[in-house]
A and B are shown apart, each in its own frame.
Chain A
Amino acid sequence: DAGITQSPRHKVTETGTPVTLRCHQTENHRYMYWYRQDPGHGLRLIHYSYGVKDTDKGEVSDGYSVSRSKTEDFLLTLESATSSQTSVYFCAIRPADGTGELFFGEGSRLTVL
């Protein structure tokens, strides 16, 4: 168990509404990541963080923002959700004592109508 909790696990929302997904970890890992998973695309990196207030963009960052004000929480915000953002969102952490592998949360399924 990597100690990652994502919330909400399921959400249905309407186009144009803001949405925030939360990733919470219990073990103070420095690196945290947000990926989205879509059929035929695998997992694509949205944003990642390498410390409190230190974040950077991934390959599909348009329409998303992130914040990390505490080590344990990494928030992903869709300022104005669109149907193309319907996806399953996975948070991941990288343990400092590992060899680079990431450990993933259970996922948050978002549907934008």
Chain B
Amino acid sequence: AQSVSQHNHHVILSEAASLELGCNYSYGGTVNLFWYVQYPGQHLQLLLKYFSGDPLVKGIKGFEAEFIKSKFSFNLRKPSVQWSDTAEYFCAVRTRGSNYKLTFGKGTLLTVNP
């Protein structure tokens, strides 16, 4: 079965710092990749997704992610974080033939200090 690893459990940054959150998956076939964000007390919202084509994908709120197939990675980046980016971030993978099930990583809590 596929798995998703998010190596950073808790990241603490100051406003305007750059962000990179790691995500690696274990599956050798075709994948779709997603980053979701969960603001405190809220449900998950889609930040961005990779389906095919350009491996550099841009999402909402200035986030982007790069799919590197050779490294089985889909890292999330933002050049300058804001206090309002404080949230938990989840990477997820969907594999072909999985009935569209998503497998999630354990999440990375991002705290941005003003």
Contact = CB atoms under 8 A, between A and B. Distances in A.
Interface residues of B, number: 23
Contact of A56 (B34, B51, B99): B99
Interface string A64-103: 0000000000000000000000000010001000011111
Tier of interface size on chain A: 20 to 34
Contacts of A56: 99
Contacts of A99: 32, 49, 51
Nearest to A45: B101
A100 B94 contact: yes
A90 B43 contact: yes
Nearest to B91: A42
Contacts of A100: 32, 34, 49, 51, 94, 100, 102
Interface of B: 1, 6, 32, 34, 42-46, 49, 51, 90, 92, 94, 99-107
Interface of A: 31, 33, 35, 40-45, 48, 50, 56, 58-59, 90, 94, 99-107
